[in-house]
Amino acid sequence: MINRTAEATLHRLARGFPVICVTGPRQSGKTTLTRKTFPDKAYISLEDPDIARLAREDPRGLLESYKNGLILDEAQGVPEIFLYLKTEIDKDPVPGRYIVTGSYQFSLLEGVTESLAGRAAFISLYPFSVEELKGGGIPLCDPFASILKGFYPPVYDRDVTVYDWYTNYIASYVERDVRSVINVRDLGQFQTFLKMCASRVGQLINLSALAQDCGISHNTAKTWISVLESSGIVFLLKPYYRNFGKRLVKSPKLFFIDTGLLCRLLGIRDAEQLFMHPNRGNIFESYVIADMLKNRLNRGLTPELYFWRDNLGNEVDVVYEDGTLLRSVEIKSGKSFSSDYTSGLDTWMRFSGSASDTCSIVYAGDMELKMKGIAVKKWDSVE
């Protein structure tokens, strides 16, 4: 079994909060993680029809049957149970009493916000990070083969082709579950929307153009993007607003949490196709930024990752604050390092006044070096 970095975070949070909420996309490993972290706790799934019916008809009786607490899996299926969780916690606020998981962050957090404010801690669990795979002894030999395979746990512990698994994941979870929340009537439109989002990975999001290409309204596109983001399929990287004397871009960029899913939506079937794909650079960028996101969330940190771009096209792929320092990362999909890779950071340092030791480059090669004081890191050494 591959150990999850988030396990230590769960233990830490369980020492201080009566309820721990673990959210994330389907099949990201939430059930496995929580049951491994808390092996002595009782476990029930609210996706079980009989348990769900009992939770709706007699939630108080259900909870009182587990005086020492329990793991409530897929709790978004019975949101009314949060009101009764509050009552139980107020009677006996033992830290780490209840562990609650949910596949839809927006549904789960709405119930927790209303019912368990101040009593619950939160952690988001996404598919494996590169750090976790390396720690589990999984060989990662080629960046593009790894990006194509993606990082969902089932593709590492089942005898299934990657293409087949993602095909069924899209049909059974993304389309079925997300459509049930937003009440999509035309499946064809939603399928087109997903693919158009994939084709725009790494680009500034233009909802009007996206809506027009999919034959839907601007408001519908906005709603669908919001639901995909909240359910852990896509994420929006916001611009860094600090002004360095230039007009700044205000639109976010669209990325996918998992590159295996992204490649399947783009119809990419092997690493050679991926390497030759016109969107290779943006797909690689999505991989790096998603891994940075996962590394922070696994430790219970607020990611606070941004990009910077001015109206002249000067751009830095990732900017984040580290205490009083402002760090920046350039992402390059080439396997051979080129001195040209530093040009964007050279411009950034002139605008921002940042020092070279706060800048780094992540590329698809295997060497690590320094160029002009800038750290150059290989593709599987993302922090």
Residue 159 domain flag: yes
Residue 275 confidence (pLDDT) above 60: yes
Q: How many helices (H) and strands (E) does the chain have?
A: 18, 13
The reported pTM is 0.93
- Segment 57-91, tens digit of pLDDT: 999 999 999 988 999 998 888 888 888 998 999 99
What b/e string do you get for 84-106 counting C-beta neighbours within 10 Å, with b at 16 or more?
bbbebbeeeeeebbbbbbbbbbe
Do 17 and 112 lie in one domain? The reply is: yes
- Segment 295-322, tens digit of pLDDT: 999 999 999 999 998 878 889 999 999 9
Instruction: For residues 256 and 219, give the distance between their C-alpha atoms in angstroms, rounded to a whole number.
Output: 21
Ranking 2-6, 81-85, 118-122, 174-178 by mean pLDDT, the lowest is 174-178
Residue 298 domain flag: no
Ranking 103-117, 132-146, 168-182, 235-249 by mean pLDDT, the lowest is 103-117
AA identity, residue 31: T
Residue 361 domain flag: no
**Model pLDDT, residue 109:** 66
272: left (phi over 0), alpha (psi -120 to 50) or beta: alpha
**DSSP string of 316-372?**
EEEEEEETTEEEEEEEE--SS--GGGGHHHHHHHHHH---GGGEEEEESSS--EEET
Residue 110 confidence (pLDDT) above 90: no
Helix (H, G, I), strand (E, B) or coil at 59: helix
292: nearest Cα among 305, 283, 281: 305
Residue 349 domain flag: no
**Model pLDDT, residue 106:** 56
Do 20 and 105 lie in one domain? The reply is: yes
Do 160 and 111 lie in one domain? The reply is: no
Residue 187 confidence (pLDDT) above 80: no
What are the residues facing 101 on neighbouring strands? 22
Helix (H, G, I), strand (E, B) or coil at 87: helix
Do 187 and 100 lie in one domain? The reply is: no
Residue 146 domain flag: yes
Q: Is 113 exposed, middle or buried (0-12, 13-18, 19+ CB in 10 A)?
A: exposed
* C-alpha count within 13 angstroms, C-beta hemisphere, residue 135: 10
Residue 28 confidence (pLDDT) above 90: yes
Residue 46 domain flag: yes
For residue 14, what is the domain's CATH number?
3.40.50.300
- Domain count within the chain: 2
Whether 272 contacts 247, CB under 8 Å: no
Do 20 and 108 lie in one domain? The reply is: yes
Do 63 and 165 lie in one domain? The reply is: no
Do 53 and 120 lie in one domain? The reply is: yes
Boundary-marking domain end, from 124, 156, 178:
124
Q: And the tokens for 59? A: 């939630």
> How does residue 230 score in pLDDT terms, banded at 50, 70 and 90?
confident
Q: And the tokens for 240? A: 């860094």
For 354, residues 6+ apart whose C-beta sits below 8 A from its C-beta are: 326, 328, 348
Give the domain range for residue 45.
6-124
Residue 43 domain flag: yes
Instruction: Catalogue the E-assigned strands of 47-129.
Output: 70-73, 98-102, 120-124
Boundary-marking domain end, from 82, 106, 124:
124
Do 184 and 206 lie in one domain? The reply is: yes
Whether 251 contacts 196, CB under 8 Å: no
Residue 243 confidence (pLDDT) above 80: no
Look over the chain and give the mean of its residue pLDDT values, rounded to a whole number: 91
Boundary-marking domain end, from 264, 284, 304:
284
Instruction: For residues 182 and 56, give the distance between their C-alpha atoms in angstroms, rounded to a whole number.
Output: 23
Do 139 and 163 lie in one domain? The reply is: yes
Q: And the tokens for 255? A: 């990325």
Do 258 and 190 lie in one domain? The reply is: yes
Do 213 and 274 lie in one domain? The reply is: yes
Angle in degrees, CA 340, 344, 347, rounded to 5: 120
Residue 218 domain flag: yes
Do 137 and 112 lie in one domain? The reply is: no
Whether 203 contacts 197, CB under 8 Å: no
